[in-house]
Amino acid sequence: MSSDTLSLKIEFGGGLELLFSNQRIHNISIPASVPLDNSITSADSIPPADVKQADVTFLMHYLRETLLTERPELFIDNGTVRPGILVLINDTDWELEGEGEYVLKDKDEIVFISTLHGG
Amino acid sequence: MSSCGNPQSTDADELMPRRLKFGRSRVCVRCRENPGNIVIRHAVYCRDCFSPLVTMKFRKALQPAINASAGTSKRPRLKAEGNLLMAFSGGLGSSVLLDIIHSTYFSGQPPVDEDGNPVGGKKHPRNASVWPSASVCYVEVCSAFPGMRDRTEEVRGAVEQYPSFEFVPLRVEDAFDKSWWEQVGGAPSAFQLSVDLGIGNLSLASASSTPPDLTPVESMRTYLASLPTPTAVSSAIQNLVRMLTLHAARSRGASHLLLGTSLTSLSIGLISSISQGGGYATREELQEEWTPSGFGSTETSRPISIVRPLRDVTMKECAAYAWWNDIKIVGRDKSARAIQGIANLTKDFIVGLEKDYPSTVSTIARTCAKLAPKDAPNGNCILCQRPVQHGIQEWKSRISIRSYADAKLALAAHTHPSSQCDPPAQPLDPMPSLTPRLCYSCHTTLTSRSSRGLKTTGHLPAPLPVWSKQSGQSEMRDAIADYLLDG
């Protein structure tokens, strides 16, 4: 199971793409099972009790470790996205989907939009 | 004995289930059919119902301010007295503003007859636009921040998507440019008004101590460098941009100036303004009408309504609207956001608050809307044109603690240089002070010192923006006439 991967489409908007090499769309693959502590090491060598299904919280950590190029504090704050960033999961507000606990599925589309660009 | 510290065990709190941010159902509260796509203040909306909801809030906030008098009609035809100017920063709110104004008031084609001409003729009232013309004003602030990129062309590209709008690019240094001032109808003036910010009572500088002719950029940088704190710099830039936009609106015969301030930005602006001493102008922060004075024609001196049509729409709603309607956001340079003043600290606080308590932000705006000043204003501030409260200096002198060193410095600066070496000579009359013509907030901006110590600028007089001459020209010119050199 842990060798299964999920293909995801990640999109950044509202200026957040500037933190990710100024690239708006990223197509990534992540493991379906991941460590409970959200580290990006392989879950194969970890006891089953310390493994979970990949969720949005893991995805945020994964993006911070692998794609973020500058100022991580503008993306993650206290283990979740920074206030002022709107997250859409398959075009739906992540608040309706359980926020960080939403278990990712293959071909999911996740959008992060910054609202902090003033009036 | 009870303690003020954290309780011994917080495990119980940690195990409490998190409260959902929406009601019981995930179905749209409006159509009650489609599954919801977004949560707005605990209510769930589907994508189809969401955009009409935003435009409805927008029109509800804007339309009562369009007609000067509605007459007896329940649904009066919308017709503004003058033109429209929209302030555009390239940010989220103003991008949404442009899009909604264009789609609601400027994209509709009137019905045409067989020959393709508008039914009833072009001049038929039904076919007339609400505003005869619409412009978009952008103020480039890169000269105020070293290393910041000029984004005027990017912004021009964004505005050109809307062919009905004329683009009006300005630069923040225009606030110190006499030729720009004359272009927008200001009275020509040979002298540059400067103020000595090094001493408490803000004496106007005499011609002899005024720096030689500076370019507008140098004048602006001298002005900003003389300000005592990062908060004052951020507030001064915001005020320069606001006044430039107001004068641009006036010079183009506008009756309405629209700002893209969302509910979240409005709450940030209100708390930030009040914390900087702007409490007396809280009503103006919400909605104001500015009547220019001292300008010739009636067209360029008619009152301008400053309206924030997105004042009931949160930043989250703006972001979702922009995303689902493919609105391009130019964004702001990060150097402008890097100033750690009160405004940015307030922004971090309110945005964090909105995430966990989404209704609190609207409570701030609704509570501030109930505030009213106790008494009538004593004229307008010459820097920001907002009302000045009566007796603020007396009040300030009663509550302020001034050091002996300040008083000595002020006395020394007000005394003619020769009088210091020659005690029997009579000191000259002190230079007139700017203080009585400033509102509490602008006075605080210019004088409130950082707890980390006073900035040392060598007491160079700071040039003031060009409109400050117009506001207090006659009285000040009389007062400082003896000190002026012919320019």
At A92, which CATH number?
3.10.20.30
Q: Does B332 sit within 8 Å of A118, measured CB to CB?
A: yes
Report if residue A61 sits inside a domain. yes
Q: Kindly give the confidence (pLDDT) of every residue in chain A, 119 residues in length, as a single tens digit, with 9 standing for 90 and above.
A: 445 899 999 999 888 888 898 899 999 999 999 988 888 877 777 888 888 999 999 999 999 999 998 888 889 988 889 999 999 999 999 999 989 999 999 999 999 998 876 54
**Which residue range is the domain that position A48 belongs to?**
5-114
Question: Domain tally for chain A?
Answer: 1
Residue A119 lies in a domain: no
Which residues of chain A have a CB within 8 Å of the CB of B89?
118-119
The overall average pLDDT reported for chain B is 80
Q: By the 8 A CB rule, do A32 and A54 touch?
A: yes
Range in B147-156, B213-222, B468-477 with the lowest mean pLDDT: B468-477
Would residue A62 count as lying in a domain?
Answer: yes
Kindly determine whether residue B319 and residue A115, on different chains, have CB atoms separated by under 8 Å.
yes
How confident is the model over B96-109, as a mean pLDDT? 88
State mean pLDDT over B28-47: 93
Q: Which residues 27-46 of chain B have a CB within 8 Å of chain A?
A: 35-39, 44
Contacts from B449-452 at CB under 8 Å and sequence distance 24+? B449/B228, B449/B229, B450/B228, B450/B229
Contacts of B75 (CB under 8 A, 6+ apart): none
Res B454 pLDDT > 80 = no
Minimum distance, in Å, between the CA of residue A106 and any CA atom of chain B: 20
Put simply, the answer to whether A86 touches B320 (Cβ < 8 Å) is yes
Nearest chain B residue to A119, by CA: B93
Q: Residue B79: pLDDT above 90?
A: no
On whether residue A80 sits in a domain, the answer given is: yes
Q: Does any domain span residue A52?
A: yes
- Give the number of other CB atoms < 10 A from CB of residue B77: 12
Residue A38 falls within a domain, yes or no? Answer: yes
Q: Is the C-alpha dihedral spanning B319, B321, B325, B330 positive or negative? A: negative
Which of A96, A99, A111, A114 to probe the B interface (max B CBs under 10 A)?
A96
Give phi and psi for B396, each to the nearest 5: -65, -40
All domains of chain B, ordered by start, with CATH?
19-65 (no CATH), 78-104+134-483 (3.40.50.620)
Give the ipTM of the model, two decimals please: 0.91
Domain-embedded: residue A27: yes
B365-388 pLDDT tens trace:
999 999 988 888 888 898 898 999
| A90 found inside a domain | yes
Q: In the structure, what pLDDT confidence band is assigned to residue B414 with cuts at 50, 70 and 90?
A: very low
